[in-house]
Structure 1
Amino acid sequence: MKITKRMMNKSAPIALALRRSKRILCFLSNLPQDIIRKILGRLLIRSIMRCKYVCKSWRSMIEGEGGDFGMLHTPQPGLAFVHRDMGFEVCDEACEPLCHFDFPPPLKIYSTTYLLRVVVGSTNGLILVCGIDARLCVCNPITSEYIKLPLQPADSHVVGFGVSKLSGQYKIICGAHVYTLGRGGGCWRGIVGATGRLRLPWENAVFFNGNLHWLTIDSKENTLVCCFDLETELYSNFSLPPPDHIIYDDGYPLYLNGGYQLCVLDGRLCLCDIVQPCRTVIWQMNTYGDANSWVKAYAVGDIIGIILPLKVFANGDLLFAKSDDDQLYIYSKKTERHVKNAHLRQYKSYFYNIVTYIPSFLSLTAMGIPNVQSLSFY
């Protein structure tokens, strides 16, 4: 093959970049480990994922059992959702895909089987999902790890995932049972006092302030927020905003059909309330646990369908998804209008199937969890 001058000119920038990269790596490798750790901690999550493959020492530093690196790195929230064709996807703060994954062996599935997959919730970079075989799995796509939980109990009315405040134990609730990740886990345990707390169909419990939250009805048919403390495994509850804003459909509160949802926004527990067919009010609890502190934070109008709030920006604007399309929207608090923001082309619209996700390098193996397996990527 004859190498022309033009080809040499084109390859020159590439060769220069390679030489510079080698010099940079050589320079970094001679720095103290704590300095390297701080430098890597300032990179974007996408760059850190590549750095894992530079050398064994960097990979060990990023995914090491000590977990120090995970404490240094605080990436911006992204999203995790069910992929349109198969498996799951996570993306960064710019809604750009980080990876697509599934649980081996990879399965080619049909368009209707996305209903069998659910993203339940995410805590500290770990994601709880329900796979195609209806089994709950906890995974971290950044470290390529997952664990399949024992077959869950039949009373799966409420499913949630969070971490206790004091002991730092990661727990999953499924109906009237709880599962603890780690060395002390391994089986589902019955929850004392669960009777009467789980009267709704499938609902993803919302994790906030060390507790899991979902909507329930007491013996007098009052709608309440049920709160489950992951540390003490005790229940409590508090009231919702004024009930005159609830629309009833054939005698049943609309939230039974998914139009009334809890969420977490800007560090506060919030409630999404459809008050008219084309208008949704979002309430926020200013003082956690105080039912008198509910205030209206947003009133999103002129939009048909159930909305799922995802994130509040620094200027107060709201990022949200809808239950009936694969588009993200931004609601302007100043103009009180919404505009299309990003098109998640691989997002299969289904109300439970998208959550806010903050990537981390928390290792299931380092947590002492047995039977950790590797995810399949595509």
Structure 2
Amino acid sequence: MSSCVVDLPEDIILKILCRLPVKSLIRFTCVSKRWRSMIISDPQFGKSHHQLASQQRTLRREVLLTTYPKLRDPGPISLARSGGFFKLPPRFQSLEDNFSVKNFTIPCEKSEDIIVMASCNGLVLVGESNRGYLRNLSIWNPSTGCFRNLPRPSFPERSVQSAGNEYKFSVNYGFGHVSASDDYKLVFIIPALGDLPEVHVFSMRANIWKVITAPYSSWPRWRGGQGTLSNEAIHWVIRHKNESSDPVIYAFDLAEEGFRQVPLPLVLWQDEDDKTSTEITTLVHLGGSLCILSRKHYYPVKGEVWAMTEYGVPESWVKLFQFDVRDLPDVFSRLYGPWDICFITESNIIMLRRDNELFWFERRNEEKLICSGQYRIEEVQPEVPECSCYFHAIGYDETLVSVAE
């Protein structure tokens, strides 16, 4: 029986490949040099693949775990100088649906200083933190390994500090995509001595930084940290210098490169005391909606999650759910220390972190949250008792998107 070889036109092959998952395409890079170049290095193919997966809702959302190990320093002199720990190179892993783990390697010279900051369309913003200064920003696609170094920004301020078990930023920053110009942008808001801070914006398409003066005469008090991307704008919850005033959401529009205010739900404050006792933070919602978490300073075990179903419309705020940590399964509530929501999916699956564990909680109808998954971060070097670690977790899309030099 003779074999039949079918020689398909290239446009048909492209349409077929665009419908395959990223993991399969990565395996197919060994078929030929042409396929490898197209899958890994062709920006248009990566863009088309991402657009089709977004339209058909077939994007795979993974969790990028970064584990930062520290080795205790037994020497009394260096103990006083370094806080008692040596930094070791972090470990980068992808946590997938069945809790299988894939290890990544970032092509960076000083890997022990790398910190993961934000993600957008499968691209991850990383930087190097050395002695409190944020340097050497880069864009990395964990799925393809593509890595692009960015020009050094002009701000010299201390941007990140190691505070206890985690990195704390003293600047506000964000990373997002502008669809009209197909441009990826970074924004950093740098505190100033006067009322007006500087806003540093980087365009990947133009490959330049620009500085914008904030347009407010009485600038609010910024707490520092990552903003939430929604509707092509970066959002932070800010309190003005007058502590009794209402918190507001400030949004930086990446296309217009300007600020606007987004109102919070008025029902959050039943009386004047609630304005200062309520902690509001924006949340990452993988469906694109702007979400917030509300909880009391004096009663942190309770929380409410709200979503703005129609962006920019104050009346569209709806409460997705509320919960009490004490009502969650014992496997979560028995742990000590603070808890945080890492992200929320379109199907109301919430990933929370506490101690060295991640938890997935699912909300079905009006029932209480049900634990649908649990993962404990393994120690990097469990055989070394002096080694401790903490971790950072973000959600990212598995894509072939790349940003050329």
- TM-score normalised over the length of structure 1: 0.74
Structure 2 equivalent of residue 126 of structure 1: 123
Change (3 A) 1:283 1:219: same
Offset from partner CA, 1:235-283 (integer Å, 9 cap, x none): 110222234379989x95563xxx7333325331110112443221101
Percent sequence identity over matched residues?
A: 22
Q: What is the alpha-carbon distance in structure 1 between the residues aligned to residue 216 and residue 98 of structure 2?
A: 41
Deviations 1:311-362 (A, max 9, x none): 335xx44231224332222233343133150415359655xx3222112222
Aligned: 1:185 with 2:207: yes
Q: 1:76 to 1:90 in 2, by over 3 A?
A: same
Aligned to 1:375: none
Distance in 2 between residues matched to 1:130 and 1:162, nearest whole Å: 16
How far did 1:199 drift?
A: 2.1
Q: CA deviation at 1:207?
A: 0.9
Which residue number in structure 2 is paired with residue 141 of structure 1?
A: 142
> Separation in 2 of the partners of 1:82 and 1:128?
13
The match for 2:294 is: 273
- 1:318-357 paired onto structure 2 within 5 Å: 318-334=349-365, 335-343=367-375, 345=377, 353-357=392-396
1:230 is matched with 254
Aligned partner (choices 61, 67, 84) of residue 83 of structure 1: 67
Change (3 A) 1:27 1:89: farther
Distance 1:91 1:289, change over 3 A: same
Change (3 A) 1:141 1:27: farther
Superposed CA deviations along residues 136-174 of structure 1, whole A, max 9, x for unmatched, are: 322112332223331462275201001224222211111
SS in 2 for 1:321: strand
**What letter matches 1:201 in structure 2?**
R
Is 1:300 aligned with 2:323? Answer: yes
Alpha carbons 2:26, 2:39 under 8 Å: kept: no
| Structure 1 counterpart SS, 2:269 | helix
Trace 1:13-162 onto structure 2 (pairs within 5 A).
30-65=7-42, 67-73=44-50, 74=53, 75-85=59-69, 86-105=90-109, 107=111, 109=112, 118-133=115-130, 134-135=134-135, 136-149=137-150, 150-151=152-153, 153=155, 154=157, 156-162=170-176
In the alignment, which residue of structure 2 is the partner of 1:244? 269
1:279-327 CA deviation, whole Å, 9 max, x = no partner? Answer: 21101112211223211101122255433152335xx442312243322
Contact conserved, 2:153 with 2:209, CA < 8 A, in 1? no
Stretches of structure 1 lacking an aligned partner (at least 5 in a row): 1-22, 110-115, 370-378
| TM-superposition CA deviations, 1:76-95 (whole Å, max 9, x none) | 21122323441433344545
Q: 2-side partners of 1:58 and 1:247: how far apart? A: 62
The superposition leaves residues 94-130 of structure 1 with CA deviations (integer Å, 9 ceiling, x where unpaired) of 45334422342264x5xxxxxx654322112111123
Distance 1:232 1:125, change over 3 A: same
Give the direction of change, closer, same or farther, for the CA distance of 1:92–1:329 in structure 2 (3 Å limit): closer
Supply the distance in 2 between the matched residues of 1:127 and 1:104 (Cα, whole angstroms).
Answer: 14
The runs of at least 4 aligned residues of structure 1 exceeding 6 Å deviation read 245-249
Matched to 2:261, the amino acid is N
Contact 2:351 2:361 in 1 (8 A): yes
Give the CA deviation at 1:229: 0.7
Rounded to whole Å, the distance in 1 between the matches of 2:12 and 2:122 is 24
- Normalized per residue, the structure richer in strand is 2
- Give the match's secondary structure for 1:131: strand
The amino acid across from 2:364 in the alignment is K
Superposed displacement of residue 40, structure 1? 2.6
Once residues 171 and 146 of structure 1 are traced to their aligned partners in structure 2, the CA distance between those partners, rounded to angstroms, is 16
Distance change (3 Å), C-alpha of 1:142 and 1:125: same
SS at match of 1:361: coil
Q: Determine if contact 1:161/1:212 at 8 Å carries over to the other structure.
A: yes
Task: Give the TM-score of the pair, scaled to structure 2.
Answer: 0.70
Q: Over the residues paired in the alignment, what is the CA RMSD in angstroms? A: 3.2
Q: Quick check: 355-364 or 237-246, which moved more? A: 237-246
- SS state at 1:143 partner: coil
**What is the total number of aligned residue pairs between the two structures?**
326
